[in-house]
Amino acid sequence: MTSVTQSEIETTVQTALLRHGAGKFSAAEVARAVARAEATGNRICGLYYLESYCLQLRSGRVRGNVRPVVSKPRPAAIYVDAKMGFSQPAFAQGLAPALDAAREYGLASLAIGHAHTCTSLGYFTEQIAQAGLIGIGFTNASPIVAPPGGKARVIGTNPIAFSVPDGEGGLAMQFDQSTTTVALGKITMAKAAGERIPKGWALDVHGQPTEDPEAALGGTLVSMGGYKGWGFGLMAELLAAGMTGGVLSHDVKPLKASEGPPHDLGQYYLLIDPSASDDFSNRVIMLSSLVGADEGGRLPGQNREIADPVTVDPTAWVQALNLAAQDI
C-alpha cells in the first residue's frame, strides 16, 4: 500500500479533473469528496471512481463546466438543478439555503436533480450534521436489484444515509448503506481481485444464489433482509427520482461506463433541526450510553478515525497520477 496525505489526493484529483474538462469549482468539490472517501476508508467512493469521472468528462456523459441553478419552490423546499453535472458542486450550492430554511421552519428538504452519481451519500449528510442539524439522504442508481422472487432488474442499490450531530460540530451517529446486502462496488472489486463473494450477496441470471462475482454482475443483487430491504429501496427510488425530476434506476446505464447519456440522477435530503425538541440531545446521550454499556458496542459512525496521511491502493494512486499528468 502507498501512504499519501489528504492534500496530495485532493490536489492530484483536482488536477486530473481539470485536465479532462471540469471547471474549477466542480473539480475542487469532487476532489474534496474523493479525498474524504479515501481518508475514511471508503475506497469504493474514492480514487476507484476517478478514471470513470475523467473518461465521462471527455465523452460528455458528465458536464464539468456547468453552474448549478438553485431555486426555492416552497419556503422550506430548496431545489438545485445540477445541469447534468457533478452532484458535489450542486449540493455545495444548495446547502446554505437549505440550512437556513431548516433553522427557520424546523424541517427543510434539499432536492438535487439532473446530477451525476453522488457516490458516498453519507459525505453529504455528514455536512448537514456538522452544521448542527439531522441529515437524511436518499439516492438511486443504475438497475441491479430485482423484486424478491424475481429476476428482472428494476432498481439500484439505492443508498440511505442518516447523520446525527453531537452538538459540537461532529457526529453522534452516522450510517450510510445501500439497501442491498452489499454495495455493487464490493462485487466489482471482488471480480477485479479474482475473489469469490459470500453466498447471499447476489443471484445469477437464473435467479440462483452465486459466489461468482462475474455471474453476480450479470444477474442481480439481493435486497438486505428480503422484502424489508426491497421496501426501503423503493422508498429511496421514489424520493430520489420523484422529488427531484431525476430518472428511475431502470433508465440509467452502468454508472462507470465511459459512453452514454448523462446519469440524470437525483438525491433527496431532509434537514431536521433537533432544537425543535428539548429532549433530543438528552436522548442521544442516553442511547449512546446504553449501547456503549455492552462491551464493544457503539453507535454507528461513533469514534470514526479520519486518516491523514492516508493508505491508498498503489495501483489506484499511480493511475491518479497518470490522469493528472495527461496532456489532453
Write out pLDDT tens, residues 125-136. 999 999 999 999
Length of the chain: 328
- Number of structural domains (the chain) is 1
pLDDT exceeds 80 at position 320? yes
Query: At CB < 8 A and 24+ separation, what contacts does 80-83 make?
Result: 80/110, 80/111, 80/112, 80/113, 81/113, 81/114, 82/112, 82/113, 82/114, 82/115, 82/116, 83/114
pLDDT attached to residue 128: 98
**DSSP element (H, E) containing 83:** strand 77-85
What digits encode the pLDDT tens for the residues 42-96? 999 999 999 999 999 999 999 999 999 999 999 999 999 999 999 999 999 999 9
Would you say residue 328 lies in a domain? no
* pLDDT exceeds 90 at position 326: no
- Nine-digit cell string for 324: 493528472
Beta-sheet pairing, 69-74 with 77-85: antiparallel
For residue range 256-288, list pLDDT tens digits in order.
999 999 999 999 999 999 999 999 999 999 999
74 falls within a domain: yes
Chain mean position to CA 90: 14
Q: Which of 128, 181, 154 is nearest to 241 (CA)?
A: 154
**ω before 165 within 30° of 0 (cis)?**
no
Classify residue 140: in a domain, yes or no.
yes
DSSP-derived 3-state class of residue 125: helix
Domain residues for the domain of 262 are 70-180+223-307
Distance CA 294, CA 288 (A): 11
CATH number at residue 153: 3.30.1370.60
Q: What is the pLDDT of residue 126?
A: 98
Is residue 63 included in any domain, yes or no? no
Q: What is the mean pLDDT of residues 204-226?
A: 96
Q: What is the mean pLDDT of the chain?
A: 96
| 4 occurs within a structural domain | no
pLDDT of residue 327 exceeding 90, the answer is: no
In a domain, 137, yes or no: yes
User: Cα separation of 278 and 283, whole Å?
Assistant: 10
Task: Encode 3-20: b = buried (16+ Cβ within 10 Å), e = exposed.
Answer: ebebebbbebbbbbbbbb
Query: Is 23 a domain residue?
Result: no
In a domain, 97, yes or no: yes
pLDDT band at 1 (very low <50, low <70, confident <90, very high): confident
